[in-house]
Amino acid sequence: MLRTPHGPTAPEPASERPAPHGPAPARPASVRQAAPVPAARTTAPRGRRRRTSAALLASAVSVCLLAASAPATPLGIGDRLFPHLGNPGYDVASYHLALSYPGTNDTPLQATTRIDARTTTDLDRINLDFAHGTVHSVEVDGTPAAFTTAGEDLVITPVNGLDAGERTRITVRHTSDPVAAEGRDGGWVRTADGLAMANQADAAHLVFPCNDHPSDKAFFTFRITAPDGHTAVANGLPIHVHRTRAAATTTWTYRTRHPMATELAQVSIGRSTVLHRTGPQGLPLRDVVPTAHREQLEPWLAKTPDQIAWMENKAGRYPFETYGLLMADVSTGFELETQTLSLFERELFTDPAYPAWYIESIMVHELAHQWFGNSVSPRTWSDLWLNEGHATWYEALYAQEKAGRPLETRMKAAYEASDRWRAEGGPPAAPKAPQPGQKISIFRPIVYDGSALVLYALREEIGRTAFDRLEWRWVTQYRDGTASTADFVRLASDTAGRDLTGFLNAWLHDAKTPPMPGHPDWKSTDRAPEKSTAYRFTGHRPAAPESAAQPAGRSGPAVHRPGASREQTR
């Protein structure tokens, strides 16, 4: 994610492409059936019981009565930064999310979320993350189930317990509220003409019930119904479009071909135009823009194919089935790498304060995330540096190669600020917990330029050839999966042919910044970088450049406007 300072269309073709090579708590979800449920069992008889409908109904009544003595509790997988995020006991294979948009972005959407999962332990109850909607009903394998809420969890009691290794289908009928949860960021973003999603880091469960942690990636299908005059787009490729004349609505269905973390889900609904072009190796590209701004934005969108080709030269073939930019008519203060359809503020591209090279490097930041963070996702939120450090690295490398902005100058400035960033936010691989009521405060400077600095140090230590080989191996070996900091250290050591554990652990975990290989004169201070450096470091990432000097042929000088929130990037 990058935080920066500052009408209907024909259905998309279902293009085929070969697989790539190698800040206060939210309002709890309200419920209409709210019997408490028993705690998860630790032992259970093997073999799930199958009963007739009458027996199932009688059993459901007994479950509700039994549950009164065992109140539900919120669970979590124990993530160091978000201990109550995610849920133990099952692995989600796929989500099917059906949304009905009423035509206004201040009215709850009617929704159905279907989850296909496999249990990893015996369960008497199932916890889902969900905290901003009304639950109408829940079924487990087609049978009504009792449910209640606990904290930000929806706690479900199936009629029969589930045994480890079973496949199960959970269906939740609910509303999805686009009006922001009190004191919370993320989830639905209300645009000038509709809605979009921004679920990072812990906000997907403000939109739909889920196992809201990047360690549990799954396939997604989206079925979105909206009134005529609106266009709906989601992650993945379109598989069906159907217009209902009597209701004057159209339903779009999209499906991902690769697993995805919940934080990367994206649905755009608005008076938009979808623009199509072709990228490297026949990759289908689609961009979603406000129809009124189509011509103004087209020159920026036309840059994407060359940017993808540039990234493929650095990190291997693009890892997904499609890519594009969602240019939303909204001021968010950030850009977001939602999988296959990155979210951008329209005004980033129309504000003359920012030079072209700077905007293009931000485009590459979110594009690089498709490899680093999306295809290879963090095992825990403490591994966030692997996402943002790499995206910032390629952002800076692109600015150097395409606009003559020296990478070394940027890294030296980051080194000077590194000790201060570590004191404020912790070291790259052991970031401090988010501030109370501000969960996105984990996106601090240390995970952006402070983590790109780790990659620069590693390249200086092992050489460019080994470093480039490591990058390719990383995105190939862990494609479509999750990986940890320890995995990166092991692969780096294997690639370099020597143990780098001590070297990388110091860079990733120490309170003070280690000496920079090859640059013994570099010093880390408690002061912010001087204004003469290439970038001004504020907020969660580098803001627009301070210097008025721009490369030939580029836009005029950038101006940082005091009070603007556009200096943070995810």
The Cα–Cα gap between 264 and 336 comes to 9
The Cα–Cα gap between 455 and 388 comes to 11
Assess whether pLDDT exceeds 80 at residue 270: yes
Using alpha carbons, select from 446, 437, 470, 418 the residue that is nearest to residue 539: 446
Which value, to the nearest 10 degrees, does the dihedral of the CA atoms of residues 174, 154, 93, 374 take? 90
Decide: helix, strand or coil at residue 155.
Answer: strand
Query: In the sheet that 146-150 helps form, which strands lie side by side, from edge to edge?
Result: 126-129, 153-157, 146-150
Which residues, 6 or more positions from 52, have their beta carbon under 8 angstroms from its beta carbon?
A: none
In the numeric block, which tokens belong to residue 91? 């692995």
Choose from 65-69, 330-334, 389-393 the range with maximum mean pLDDT.
Answer: 389-393
Which residues, 6 or more positions from 532, have their beta carbon under 8 angstroms from its beta carbon?
A: 546, 547
What is the maximal distance between C-alpha atoms in the chain?
Answer: 79
Q: Which of 21-25, 291-295, 423-427 has the lowest mean pLDDT?
A: 21-25
What pTM value is reported for the model? 0.85
The Cα–Cα gap between 386 and 388 comes to 6
User: How many alpha carbons fall within 13 Å on the CB side of residue 435?
Assistant: 10
Render pLDDT for 469-511 as a digit per residue (tens, 0 to 9).
Answer: 999 999 999 999 999 999 999 999 999 999 999 999 999 999 9
Kindly state the DSSP code that residue 528 receives in the 8-state scheme.
Answer: P
Assess whether pLDDT exceeds 50 at residue 273: yes
Using alpha carbons, select from 191, 10, 204, 7 the residue that is nearest to residue 104: 191
Write down the number of H helices and E strands in the chain.
Answer: 11, 24
Percent of the chain with pLDDT over 70: 80
The Cα–Cα gap between 97 and 115 comes to 9
Q: What are phi and psi of 253, to 5 degrees?
A: -120, 130
Using alpha carbons, select from 106, 155, 109, 107 the residue that is nearest to residue 130: 155
Q: Identify the pLDDT of residue 34.
A: 35
Which residues, 6 or more positions from 469, have their beta carbon under 8 angstroms from its beta carbon?
A: 495
Are 147 and 62 spatial neighbours (Cβ–Cβ below 8 Å)?
no
Q: Identify the pLDDT of residue 98.
A: 98
For residue 137, what are the β-bridge partners? Answer: 173
Q: Identify the pLDDT of residue 4.
A: 54
The residue ranking higher by pLDDT, 446 or 61, is 446
What Cα–Cα distance (Å) separates residue 389 from each residue in 2, 102, 429, 447?
Answer: 11, 40, 11, 6
Q: Give the E-state strand segments of 256-333 in sequence order.
A: 267-270, 272-278, 284-290, 325-328
For residue 328, what are the β-bridge partners? Answer: 345
Q: Identify the pLDDT of residue 3.
A: 57
Render pLDDT for 11-58 as a digit per residue (tens, 0 to 9).
Answer: 333 333 334 443 333 434 444 333 333 333 333 333 444 333 434 444
What average pLDDT does this structure show over 242-265? 97
> Per the omega criterion (within 30 degrees of 0), is the bond before 201 cis?
yes
